[in-house]
């Protein structure tokens, strides 16, 4: 008889995969040091525990706990969903999130995944029996604390505005730098671009054309990107270029959402003249504002007057380009010169250039002689060095294009129905 000895097996304990979450809400230097201290502390805490396996420390720098836009927090939650984390350690409820709803929502999501969250300051373990009840009560205090902090910050900012102190990031403000005392000083190279934009606009060029020309010369914006029509318009409307400043143009209505909205009288704003050196003379700046308004009125873009100006011109929205189908837009050429001329031009060509559409252009006096009562497609052709135009009803042409999808046979070849003659009027 043979006896075999079966040795007892010792089950190896599985280590808990542990990470930590740290956050500071501002970019202040002291808080930066605090974040580094938090990271070092948690790394030591986890690595020196034999029961833990270190996953990492997820740290958001300069981000409020009331916002959802926390990249490291999101990355941590994603790893937890993938089953790579068993325990999350954080300093306090307010570090995890200041919004009670967010705290409970995220904790419950993690609880369903079997992930435990430990709050050191409050001594709460979310997988314990009374963990959620304690969490609900304490996170409410954290939210109220956030509200008080937000109100204190608003009060300090208001006092700065009352003293005329300007809060501005010159890294994204074309034409100015800050000196050692924090005062605005003119950056002469950038100021030349600002002067050029104002001058060109008063000469009759539009914001889109100015942006296009600056891009063609490879002149970067202050942020290093390409010029857009909206960028040019924002520069033209900015009172800082005449040396004045409006403080609190925007404000934060809700301490939880942290988004800013335009101040239309909901809170105090402050206007300061001769605050800093001007790049644009006050008279020139005022002339540009008048021109901006005049052009906006001509296009029907004045707030509150949209319906009044929607059909300012009888042919607005009635003419279409035969090449791309876009509407023709009424434009004034050489508006400041005696040779002023009004034309209707393809809006796609105006906005995106020849790559989008070769363009169709017709003089207002030519098209004005026609009795157009419905949407009309304008076809432009060059014959013997002269421009000829033909016109067709837009709905009729669309119907023909739909019919053209079913080719018809003629003399053994396939010809689309769109080649059938349509009613046209020729104007030279």
pTM of the model: 0.43
- What whole-number distance in Å separates Cα of residue 223 and Cα of residue 237? 19
The 3-state DSSP composition of the chain as helix, strand, coil percent (nearest 5) reads: 40, 20, 40
Residue 88 lies in a domain: yes
- For residues 255 and 336, state if they share a domain: no
Residue 160 lies in a domain: no
Place of tokens 């409050």: 122
Number of structural domains (the chain) is 3
| 425 falls within a domain | no
CB burial of residue 196 (10 Å; 0-12, 13-18, 19+): middle
> Per-residue pLDDT for 219 more than 60?
yes
107 and 181 belong to one structural domain: no
Lowest mean pLDDT among 41-50, 54-63, 89-98, 360-369: 89-98
Supply the CATH number for residue 99's domain.
3.40.50.1390
Per-residue pLDDT reduced to its tens digit, 368-405: 888 888 889 999 888 888 888 888 887 655 555 444 44
- Output 327 or 313, whichever has higher pLDDT: 327
What's the CATH number where 250 sits?
3.90.1750.20
Give me the pLDDT at residue 10, please.
55
pLDDT tens, residue by residue, 407-428: 444 444 333 333 333 333 333 3
Higher pLDDT: 179 or 166? It is 179
Q: Assess if residue 335 is contained within a domain.
A: yes
Q: Are residues 334 and 365 in the same domain?
A: yes
Choose between 210 and 253: higher pLDDT.
210
Q: DSSP H helical segments within 259-406, as ranges? A: 282-299, 306-309, 347-352, 364-368, 394-403
Q: Highest mean pLDDT: which of 66-70, 134-138, 206-210?
A: 206-210
Q: Residues 43, 116: one domain?
A: yes
Asked, for residue 426, whether it belongs to a domain, the answer is no
Question: Do 31 and 127 belong to one domain?
Answer: yes
pLDDT at 256 over 50: no
pLDDT digits (tens, 9 = 90+) for 335-349: 666 677 888 999 888
Residue 102 lies in a domain: yes
Q: Are residues 356 and 404 in the same domain?
A: yes
Domain holding 71, by residue range, is 16-150
Burial letters for 295-318: b for 16+ Cβ neighbours within 10 Å, e otherwise?
A: eeebebeeeeeeeebeeebebbeb
Query: Which pLDDT belongs to residue 204?
Result: 87
Q: Check whether residue 284 and residue 378 sit in a common domain.
A: no
Residue 232: what pLDDT? 93
């Amino acid at each position: 008889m043979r006896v075999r000895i079966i040795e007892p097996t010792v089950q190896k304990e599985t280590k808990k995969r542990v990470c930590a979450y740290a956050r500071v809400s501002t970019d202040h230097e002291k808080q930066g040091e605090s974040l580094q201290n938090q990271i070092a502390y948690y790394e030591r805490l986890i690595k020196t525990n034999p029961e833990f396996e270190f996953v990492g420390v997820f740290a958001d720098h300069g981000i409020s706990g009331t916002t959802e836009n926390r990249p490291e927090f999101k990355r941590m939650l994603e790893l937890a969903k993938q089953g790579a984390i068993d325990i999350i350690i954080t300093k306090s409820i307010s570090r995890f999130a200041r919004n009670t709803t967010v705290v409970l929502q995220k904790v419950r999501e993690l609880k369903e995944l079997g992930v435990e969250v430990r709050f050191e300051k409050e001594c709460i373990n979310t997988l314990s029996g009374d963990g959620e009840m304690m969490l609900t009560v304490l996170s409410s205090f954290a939210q109220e604390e956030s509200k008080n902090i937000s109100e204190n910050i608003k009060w300090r900012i208001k006092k700065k505005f009352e003293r005329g102190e300007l809060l501005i990031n010159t890294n994204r403000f074309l034409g100015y730098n800050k000196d050692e005392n924090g005062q605005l000083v003119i950056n002469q190279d950038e100021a030349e671009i600002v002067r050029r934009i104002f001058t060109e606009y008063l000469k009759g060029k539009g914001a889109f054309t100015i942006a296009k020309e600056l891009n063609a010369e490879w002149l970067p914006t202050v942020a290093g990107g390409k010029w857009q029509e909206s960028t040019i318009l924002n520069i033209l409307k900015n009172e800082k270029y005449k040396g004045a400043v409006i403080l609190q143009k925007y404000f934060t209505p809700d301490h939880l959402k942290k988004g800013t909205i335009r101040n239309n009288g909901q809170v105090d704003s402050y206007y300061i003249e001769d605050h800093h050196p001007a790049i644009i003379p006050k008279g020139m700046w005022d002339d540009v504002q008048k021109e901006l308004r005049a052009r906006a009125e001509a296009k029907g873009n004045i707030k509150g007057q949209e319906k009044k100006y929607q059909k300012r011109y009888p042919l607005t929205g009635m003419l279409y380009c035969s090449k791309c189908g876009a509407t023709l837009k009424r434009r004034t050429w050489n508006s400041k010169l005696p040779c002023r001329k009004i034309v209707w031009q393809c809006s796609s060509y105006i906005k995106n250039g020849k790559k989008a559409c070769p363009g169709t252009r017709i003089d207002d006096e030519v098209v004005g002689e026609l009795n157009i009562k419905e949407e009309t497609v304008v076809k432009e052709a060059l014959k013997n060095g002269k421009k000829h135009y033909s016109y067709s009803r837009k709905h009729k042409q669309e119907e023909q294009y739909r019919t053209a999808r079913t080719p018809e046979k003629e003399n053994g070849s396939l010809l689309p129905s769109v080649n059938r003659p349509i009613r046209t009027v020729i104007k030279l």
